[in-house]
Amino acid sequence: MTPPAPAEFGLIARHFRPLAGPGALDLLDDAAILAPPPGRELIVTVDAMVEGVHFLPDDPPDLIARKLLRVNLSDLAAKGAVPLAYLLTLSARRGVSDTWLEAFAAGLKQDQEYFNISLLGGDTTSTPGPLSLTVTAIGHVAPGATVRRAGAKIGDAIWVSGTIGDGALGLRAIRGELDDRDGFLAGRYRLPLPRLGLVDPAFVRAAMDVSDGLVQDLGHLCRAAGLGATVWAARVPVSVPDPRWLETCLTGGDDYELLMIADPVCETALQARAGELGVAVTRIGTIETESGIRVLDAASQPMTLASGGWSHF
């Protein structure tokens, strides 16, 4: 008998083999060869996205693919790493349509080219549940030059890139809870932009991306340093300057902007790099001795926020 190449292998060949890069062995093997660029250290990160949790069932497949890559690249950006390659796991119902996969792979291809990365390997499996996607992204840094969450010092400035809260506002706009005539906010939710190239240990002491909400993520950074912070709410850059949405912006997740801690003397260097990249950066607060995050309103009064941020469990 001649065992046929099963459907699973056909779809890998059709949709994913064209995306394979150096070391991927044309996706014919169950593993790939990973060669770090000479003299560089590797950074690895993994992020999963589940239908109904991280994206909506009727979201366009190409945008799901691109968001999946981008949330992982955002973690590399926070480390100051240059993206290199990724592995993909796709768990879908049997009979996932070829049209869906084609659009999904087209989205991967578009962002592979944009971010200069390639597919290294993966796994496809069936599930009786919602579509589940996992990407393991690999980047590289100069040895010892990884920027961590820990490292903030008393008196350091707290910076953010871009505008904060757009992810949460975008989700609400898609649900019709918020006016978004030009689709800007929905676009920010569906297609975040990883801020690659901004974090550099020359002027950033600690960093992470804002994925669970600004206040919660700043809490992580401060706990890692055993310190606290004050944030001036009025300085946090937002796309919808409406007090009714301020708390959503301060605590909503899915932004994928960068939260950076820098020595105040590094302001010029950070601003210069941001300028080169065409990314706005804004100083929103200060690292302090006292633990916890104090968010002050325009009258310098402490705000009480109902929700700290997002937890999956």
Structure tokens at 282: 């804004």
Residue from 42, 56, 174, 296 touching a copy of itself (CB under 8 A): that is 42
Question: What is the full DSSP assignment across 46-112?
Answer: EEEEEBTTTB-TTS-HHHHHHHHHHHHHHHHHHTTPEEEEEEEEEEE-TT--HHHHHHHHHHHHHHH
**Residue 165 found at the interface with a copy of itself (CB under 8 A):** no
d(CA 277, CA 280): 9
Q: Is residue 150 a contact point for a copy of itself (CB under 8 A)? A: yes
What is the distance between the alpha carbons of residues 162 and 209, in angstroms, rounded to a whole number? 12
Query: Is beta strand 258-262 parallel, antiparallel or unpaired with respect to 132-141?
Result: unpaired
Only segment of 42-50, 157-165, 167-175, 180-188 that touches a copy of itself (CB under 8 A)? 42-50
Q: Choose which of 17, 48, 56, 263 interacts with a copy of itself (CB under 8 A).
A: 48
Collapsing DSSP to helix, strand or coil, 168 comes out as: helix
Interface of this chain with a copy of itself, residues 189 to 228, rule: CB under 8 A = 208-209, 211-212, 215-216, 218-220, 223-224
> Looking at 130-138, 167-175, 177-185, 260-268, which segment touches a copy of itself (CB under 8 A)?
130-138
Among 65, 68, 69, 81, binds a copy of itself (CB under 8 A): 81
Q: Is 97 in the site for a copy of itself (CB under 8 A)?
A: no
Max distance between CA atoms of the chain, in angstroms, equals: 80
Q: Rule CB under 8 A: which of 224-253 touch a copy of itself?
A: 224
SS3 state of residue 157: strand
Question: Which residues does 16 contact at the CB level (< 8 Å), separation at least 6?
Answer: 27, 88, 105, 119, 122
- Is 9 one of the binding residues for a copy of itself (CB under 8 A)? yes
Q: For the segment 279-308, give every residue that binds a copy of itself (CB under 8 A).
A: 291-295, 302-305, 308
Residue 299 burial (10 A CB sphere; 0-12, 13-18, 19+): exposed
8 Å CB contact between 137 and 261: no
CB of 85 to a copy of itself, least distance (A): 9
Could you tell me the smallest distance in angstroms from the CB atom of residue 271 to a copy of itself? Answer: 25
Binding residue (CB under 8 A) for a copy of itself from 70, 149, 172, 190? 149
CA distance linking residue 158 with residue 35, whole number of Å: 36
With CB under 8 A as the contact rule, the residue among 60, 89, 197, 277 that binds a copy of itself is 89
Contact by Cβ (8 Å): 23, 34? yes
Q: Report the residue number, 163 or 251, with the smaller CB distance to a copy of itself.
A: 251
- Which among 62-70, 89-97, 156-164, 265-273 is the span making contact with a copy of itself, rule CB under 8 A? 89-97
69 scored as a contact of a copy of itself (CB under 8 A): no
Rg (CA), the chain: 21
Q: Does 8 bind a copy of itself (CB under 8 A)?
A: yes
Q: Which is nearer to a copy of itself, 178 or 189 (CB)?
A: 189
Contact flag: residue 37 with a copy of itself (CB under 8 A): no
